[in-house]
Amino acid sequence: MTILINTLIIVIGLILAIAIIILFPIIKIFHTSSVCRKPPEDHLPELTHNLYRHVAVLSKEIGSRSLKEYENISKAQNYIETFLQGICFPYELQSYVVNGKTYSNVIAALPGSDNPPETIVIGAHYDTILDTPGADDNASAVAVLLEMCRALQNYSPGKTIKLVFFTLEEPPIFDTEKMGSWIFAKDAKKRGEEICFMISLDMLGYYSDKEKGQQFPLPLTNMFYPTTPNFILVVGDTSSRHMVTLTADKIRQACTLNVENLTVPRFFPGIKLSDNLSFWKMGYKALMITDTAFFRNPNYHTTKDTIDTLNFDKMTSLCEGLVAMTKDLSRQ
C-alpha cells in the first residue's frame, strides 16, 4: 500500500510539474502589455486597406460571433457571401443544424484540371468566443482568406482549390462532431475526396518587436526559434512534415515576413487547437498557419482582441505570400 501511495504521489507530482511548465509561458503572456496601432495610412496598398475593412466589419460592426450569438454569426456569413457575390466568385453552402439552428460553411472552389483529381483545402473559421470582438481570432484570417479569393478568382489551377470559411470552431463546439470543419472533413471522406492536404489559417495579425515577447510551450524551444514575436509560424504533425516545409518555403519566396516552420508530434501543446484537428481525425494531412495565439497575444479570447492591436502591413505581406504559395502548390 505504501509503495502504491508513493507511486501515486510521484505521478501526481509529475503531472503538476508538466502542467506548470506548459502554463507558465501562457500566464506570462497574459501579464504583458499589448501593442496598439493606428489604422493604415492612405498611401499604403489597396490590399492593406481591404484587409482592414474586412476586420473592421467583422470585429466592430458585427462584433462577437459565438454559438450563443446566432444573429451575429449569420451576419458574418452574409458578409462573406456578399463579398464573394460582389467579385463573382462561385460558392456553395454546407449547412447543418445545431440546437435547432442552421449553421453553414461557405465553400469557394476553383476546379482543377489534374487527372486524377486532388484537392487543396485552405480554411479559416469565422466564429468567436462569446462576448469577444475576435479581431485576431479569427477576423484576421477571414480577411486574408477573402482577399485570397479576390486574387485567385480567375486562376486556373491543376489541383482543385477549396477556400472554406468554417463556422463553429470555438468552444463549446471545439473538438466535437458539430465543428464546421468536422462536417466538411467527414463529408469529404465519405465521398472519397482526395484532399492532398489542408491548411488552417488561425490568428494571423498580432506582431510585436518586443524582445522576449514570444513564449513557447516547452523549455529550450527559444534556442531554435526567435524570441521576438514578429514572425508567422507554419506548424504540423510528423505525418505532414514534407508539406510543412514546402508550404513555409513557398511563402518565404513571395513574402517579406519572417516565416518559421515546426513539425512535432500531435501531443505537442497548441498544435491541435484549430480546424486542422478535424482533418487529422479523418486521416488527411493538415497543417496550421498562425501567429502562435496565446504564446504571444495577451488579448487572446478577451474583449481586448481588437482591430487596433493588429499589424496590417505584415498581414498584407503574408496574404501575398499565401496567394503565391497556393498557386505554386496547386501546380505541384
Q: Residue 210 above 80 pLDDT?
A: yes
Q: What does the alpha-carbon distance between residue 119 and residue 121 come to, in Å, rounded to a whole number?
A: 6
- Inside any domain, residue 22: no
Q: Residue 21 above 90 pLDDT?
A: no
CB–CB of 112/118 below 8 Å? yes
pLDDT per position as a tens digit, 49-72: 999 999 999 999 999 999 999 999
| Whole-number Cα distances in Å, 297 to 95, 129, 230 | 32, 15, 12
Q: Residue 12 above 60 pLDDT?
A: no
Q: Residue 159 above 90 pLDDT?
A: yes
Percent of the chain with pLDDT over 90: 83
Q: What nine digits make up the cell of 109?
A: 472552389
pLDDT grade, residue 22 (50/70/90)?
Answer: low
| H or E element at residue 86 | helix 70-86
- Inside any domain, residue 10: no
Report which of 282, 272, 285 is spatially closest to residue 243, judged by C-alpha positions: 285
Query: What value does the mean pLDDT take over residues 137-163?
Result: 97
pLDDT: is 123 or 11 the higher one? 123
DSSP 94: E
Listing DSSP states for 250-292 in one string gives: HHHHT-SSEEEEEE--TTSTTTTSSTHHHHHHTT--EEEEES-
Q: Residue 29 above 70 pLDDT?
A: no
According to DSSP, the residues that pair with 77 across neighbouring strands are: none
Query: What value does the mean pLDDT take over residues 76-97?
Result: 98
Query: What value does the mean pLDDT take over residues 213-241?
Result: 92
Q: Residue 87 above 90 pLDDT?
A: yes
- Inside any domain, residue 180: yes
CB–CB of 163/123 below 8 Å? yes
Domain count of the chain?
Answer: 1
Q: What is the pLDDT of residue 2?
A: 62
Global pTM exceeds 0.85: yes
CB–CB of 254/320 below 8 Å? yes
Q: What is the pLDDT of residue 221?
A: 85
Q: What is the pLDDT of residue 32?
A: 78
| H or E element at residue 27 | helix 2-30
Q: What does the alpha-carbon distance between residue 138 and residue 224 come to, in Å, rounded to a whole number?
A: 27
Q: What does the alpha-carbon distance between residue 198 and residue 112 come to, in Å, rounded to a whole number?
A: 16
**What φ, ψ does residue 112 adopt, rounded to 5°?**
-90, 165
CATH number where 120 lies: 3.40.630.10
Q: What does the alpha-carbon distance between residue 230 and residue 145 come to, in Å, rounded to a whole number?
A: 21
Q: Residue 33 above 90 pLDDT?
A: no
CB–CB of 271/237 below 8 Å? yes
Residue 266: domain span: 32-330
pLDDT grade, residue 17 (50/70/90)?
Answer: very low
- Sheet strands side by side (includes 101-110): 91-98, 101-110, 160-166, 119-125, 195-201, 286-290, 231-236, 258-263
Q: What does the alpha-carbon distance between residue 227 and residue 206 come to, in Å, rounded to a whole number?
A: 14
pLDDT per position as a tens digit, 37-47: 989 999 999 99
Q: What is the pLDDT of residue 4?
A: 55
- Inside any domain, residue 15: no
- Inside any domain, residue 5: no
Listing DSSP states for 52-65 in one string gives: HHHHHIIIIII---
- Inside any domain, residue 17: no
- Inside any domain, residue 13: no
Q: What does the alpha-carbon distance between residue 185 and residue 198 come to, in Å, rounded to a whole number?
A: 10
Query: What value does the mean pLDDT take over residues 70-86?
Result: 98
pLDDT grade, residue 332 (50/70/90)?
Answer: confident
Q: Residue 227 above 90 pLDDT?
A: yes
